[in-house]
Chain A
Amino acid sequence: MLQITQLNKSYENHKALTDVSLSVPKGVIFGLLGPNGAGKTTLIRIINQIIEQDSGTVELDGKPLSPEDIKKIGYLPEERGLYKKMKVWDQLVYFARLKGLSQDEAKRQIKSWLEKLEIASWRDKKIEDLSKGMAQKIQFISTVVHRPSLLILDEPFSGFDPVNAEIIKNEILELKKNGTTVILSTHRMESVELLCDQIAMINRSRKILDGTIREVKSSFRPEVFQISLARIKRDLPMEWIANNQGDIWDFTLPLSGRMPNQLLNELMEFGEVMEFREQIPSMEEIFIHQVKSTSHE
């Protein structure tokens, strides 16, 4: 769907993107992660043709980006806003038409979205009379109203209360089901684990990690197991530092070169294995670990 190759972009006194290559397959939710100032916004702006790269290519559906592709992309920037004095309806029609929809098509789409999100009664209200969460819903509609095949959402959940965030999350999942590709840029790792199929992590202008969630996680396995033993037959070695609650003993052990089954066999000698689970890091832990390790180079 989206193929980014060797993208470079520098500003006057710093490099925003260094040789960044990404491949976003069709129909996935692709998480774009990275701390502030890493280069995510620059990358997103290049995909949106707001700015131009210094070198490298961006291809959409196998062809280099062209002005016609604006219609195929829906963009919800992190810093977003609406015309405060404009009515909801007029505003949505304006944004839809700027994306290239005809007047009739724009009206039809907006009508169905307003009904879908159960906010049809707001159509003649001005944005300044709406709450922040309400305005965010309008903003979301303006992003998807032209049925983009690529949706770029920068921190889409900021400003939403949990109820509305859930509504938007479900809308995103439904769009994905209908074949829309979504790039989700966020710091909120819990939404990454819930929503994303694939991720790429950017730090200090470089891509430092990418792959499916499962791949990323397995490559960051510390090879440590969480173990619970019951009905101890022998004394446990001192270095295991086990805590007991009644006759249940909890502790962690690294593989230290053994295969998991070997470790399990060893454990069975000491008692009944109640729990034997590999410790898998959360995306948040990977994120923090990666950012720290690449920032101190």
Chain B
Amino acid sequence: MNKIFLVIQREYLSRVKKKSFLIATLLTPLIFPAIMGVFVWIAMSEKENQSLRIIEVIDETDLFFMESSEQYAFTSSVDDPEEAKQMVQEGDRYGFLHIPKIDLANPQGIQFYGVENPSLSLMGYLESALKRKIEDQKLYQLGIDPKVLKEIRTDISIQSITLGEQGEEKVNDATVNYALGFISGILIYVFIFVYGNQIMQGVIEEKSSRIVEILVSSLKPFQLMMGKIVGIGAVGLTQFLIWVLLIGTLSTVVMGVLGMQMPQQQAMELANPEFAQATPDAGEVATILQVINGIDFVTLVFSFIIYFLGGYLLYGALFAAVGSAVDAPSDAQQFMFPITIPLIVAYMGLFVFVLQDPTSSASFWLSIIPLTSPIAMMGRISYGVPFWELALSMGLLVLGFLFTTWLAGKIYRIGILMHGTKPTYRILWKWIKASQ
């Protein structure tokens, strides 16, 4: 035990003392907001500088009147589609919308011409505008007065409230839940990859520089492997903690500068609903804060730590095994495949299934299977997960990392002493089966 601690200490200090660690730790929290700031700034200045895009419309049905927006203006200056195309090609028009004579019941054949691919937002804008026009047209044909239609149309947003078992009401907001699941899932994904790679590099360093033979004459290979995994994990946690503190401090400062109220004060308002209702101006902020307040942060933070560590340990052992099997990082590629695939599946699954529908069966299985659960489950936590699912998932995760550690230990203790052989999966399998 004492020896594992020595290894942990060395792995930890040798990394934390590096200048590159200090720089990465201090700059990352600054770089991310800076990059985002640059993007926002570019987007905003683009919007300001954007010249109005003129779109030529030929409407053979004479039913549609396209309303111009801030970005797009619609004109009908020519009747011949060829002429309109010409205008697009010469750059006089940004695009050309051709609405042929269509059957309202089955509107097919509407086309948009442009010299560049139209953006998703433009197509969406056109489609929804046309859809609404067709619907209006249909209602009109059914005898409903357009004026009445206008009056009927209402903007609405739904406040989602979930009922707890004891009937307590909790305000929900999909956006907040999405963001929390997104951020925590991605963090775990990045953490596993970055620090898993560090484990692998470290093992390869010890193996290729032949330090390992001296080390294993002093302690058991398993102790060495665990010491490395835990030590590097501690580096990651340190870095993460510093980030949390830095970002927390920075955002508090920024919010203070921007004259926003401090979260504590908001919380006090929330604790006193009458006061919050009395200030309707703060309604939107209050809702988000109400939502944030409604999230079970104890479960969220607790789960994050469990999945963060569990996922790291599970994959860390595999990274160590790969490092032990090869002589150089370039040889590691072939064995990286089975590690990367489940991680990428989990990552894709987070976006495709989990964040879209946290209760679907795909989401369920992704968040139960240990190889994907650290990333997938984090996407579900903020939406609320039944206790038994959480317990099952965490239990399997613990079993999972015990299993991968056991498996990796078997490969590791033979792999680190093997030089000059290029192992295959078949050889790895033999190492696993070998008693010594």
- B is a partner of A: yes
A interface residues, Cβ below 8 angstroms from B: 12, 45, 48-52, 70, 73, 75, 77, 79-86, 94-95, 97-99, 142-143
Beyond the given A81-B211, A86-B14, A94-B10, please list 15 additional residue pairs across the A-B interface where CB-CB is below 8 A. Answer: A12-B430, A48-B217, A51-B436, A77-B213, A80-B211, A80-B214, A81-B210, A82-B209, A83-B14, A84-B209, A85-B14, A95-B218, A98-B3, A98-B7, A98-B219
Residues of B within 8 A of A85 (CB): 14
In-complex Cβ contact of B210 among A75, A79, A142 (8 A):
A79
CA distance A99 to B216 in the complex (A): 11
Q: How far is the CA of A142 from the CA of B10 in the complex (A)?
A: 16
Contact A70 B210 (CB under 8 A): no
A75 to B217, CA, bound (A): 7
* Known contacts A70-B217, A95-B218: A83-B6 contact under CB 8 Å: no
CB distance from A145 to the nearest CB of B (A): 12
Any chain A CB within 8 A of the CB of B215? yes
Q: Which A residues touch B217, using CB under 8 A?
A: 48-50, 70, 73, 75, 77
Within 8 A of A (CB), among B415-436: 417, 419, 430, 434, 436
Closest to A97 in B: B6
Q: Known: A82-B209, A83-B209, A98-B3. Contact between A75 and B430, CB under 8 A?
A: no
A201 to B125 Cα, complex, angstroms: 87
> Which residues of B are found within 8 Å of A95, using beta-carbon distances?
214, 218
What mask results when residues 4 to 23 of chain B are scored 1 for a CB within 8 Å of chain A, else 0?
Answer: 00110010001000000000
Lowest 6 CB-CB distances: which A-B pairs, in order?
Answer: A81-B209, A81-B210, A98-B218, A77-B213, A79-B210, A48-B217
Note all chain B residues with C-beta closer than 8 A to A80. 210-211, 213-214
Q: How far is A45 from B418 in the complex, measured between Cα atoms in Å?
A: 13
Whether A94 and B6, one on each chain, are in contact in the complex, defined by CB atoms closer than 8 angstroms, is yes
Q: Are A142 and B214 in contact (CB under 8 A)?
A: yes
Q: Please name all residues of chain B whose beta carbon is closer than 8 Å to the beta carbon of A143 when the two chains form the complex.
A: 214
User: Could you tell me the distance in whole angstroms from the C-beta of A9 to the nearest C-beta in chain B?
Assistant: 9
Alpha-carbon separation in the docked complex, A147 to B434 (Å): 35
Contact across chains for A50 and B209 when beta carbons are under 8 A apart:
no
Which of A79, A86, A99 interacts with B218 by CB under 8 Å?
Answer: A99
Min distance, Cβ B220 to any Cβ of chain A, angstroms? 8
Once the chains bind, are A79 and B213 in contact (CB under 8 Å)? Answer: yes
Q: Complex formed: what's the CA distance from A73 to B430 in Å?
A: 31
Q: B210 → chain A, closest Cβ, in Å?
A: 4
A280 to B240, CA, bound (A): 71
- The contact size tier of chain B is 20 to 34
A83 cross-chain contacts in B, Cβ below 8 A: 14, 205, 209, 211
User: From residue B221, how far is it (CB to closest CB) to chain A in Å?
Assistant: 8
Asked whether A98 lies within 8 Å of B209 as measured between CB atoms, the reply is no
**In the complex, chain A residues whose CB is within 8 Å of the CB of B430:** 12
Could you show 19 A-B contacts with beta carbons less than 8 Å apart? Answer: A12-B434, A45-B417, A49-B217, A50-B213, A51-B417, A70-B218, A73-B217, A77-B210, A77-B214, A79-B213, A80-B211, A81-B209, A82-B209, A83-B14, A94-B6, A94-B10, A95-B214, A98-B215, A98-B219
- How far does the alpha carbon of A241 sit from the alpha carbon of B221 in the complex, in Å? 64
Contact between B209 and A75 (Cβ–Cβ < 8 Å)? no
B211 touches A50 (CB 8 A): no
Contacts of A142 in B (CB 8 A): 214
In the assembled complex, the CB of A128 is this many whole angstroms from the nearest CB of chain B, namely: 11
Q: CA separation between A81 and B217, bound complex, in Å?
A: 13
Question: Which residues on B sit within 8 Å (CB–CB) of A84?
Answer: 209
Chain A positions within 8 Å of B210 at CB level: 77, 79-81
- Per-residue 0/1 for B211-242: is the Cβ within 8 Å of any A Cβ (1 yes, 0 no)? 10111111100000000000000000000000
Give, as a whole number of angstroms, the nearest-CB distance from A151 to chain B: 12
Question: Is there an interface contact between B214 and A75, defined as CB atoms closer than 8 Å?
Answer: yes
Task: Note all chain A residues with C-beta closer than 8 A to B419.
Answer: 79
Residues of B within 8 A of A81 (CB): 209-211, 214
Q: Please give the distance in Å from A115's CB to the nearest CB on chain B.
A: 23
Chain A residue at smallest Cβ distance from B427 = A12
Please name all residues of chain B whose beta carbon is closer than 8 Å to the beta carbon of A86 when the two chains form the complex.
Answer: 14
| Chain A residues within 8 Å of B209, by CB | 81-84
* A94 CB contacts on chain B under 8 angstroms: 6, 10
Distance from B41 Cβ to chain A, minimum over Cβ atoms (Å): 40
Nearest CB of A to B297, in Å: 40
Indicate the member of B218, B430, B434 with the most A CB atoms within 10 Å: B218
Assembled-state Cα–Cα distance A240/B18 (Å): 76
- Chain A residues whose CB sits within 8 angstroms of the CB of B205 once the complex forms: 83
Residue from A50, A52, A82 within 8 A of B216 (CB atoms): A50
Task: Name the A residues within 8 Å of B3 (CB-CB).
Answer: 98
CB distance from B18 to the nearest CB of A (A): 8
Question: B213: shortest Cβ distance to chain A, in Å?
Answer: 4
Q: Can you name the residue of chain A whose Cβ is closest to the Cβ of B18? A: A85
Q: Which residues of A contact B417 (CB under 8 A)?
A: 45, 50-51
Which residue of A is nearest B417, CB measured? A50
A142 to B214, CA, bound (A): 9
CB-defined contacts of B215 to chain A, threshold 8 Å: 98
A94 to B7, CA, bound (A): 8
A77 to B416 Cα, complex, angstroms: 14
- Give complex CA distance A12, B3 in Å: 31
Residues from chain A with a CB closer than 8 A to the CB of B219 are 70, 98
**Complex-state Cα separation, A83 to B228, whole angstroms:** 14
In the bound assembly, the distance between CA atoms of A73 and B214 in angstroms comes to 11
Interface centre among A52, A81, A86, A142 (most CB of B within 10 A): A81
Q: Residue of A at shortest CB range from B5?
A: A97
A79 to B206, alpha carbons, bound, how many Å? 12
Residues of chain B lying within 8 A (CB to CB) of residue A12: 430, 434
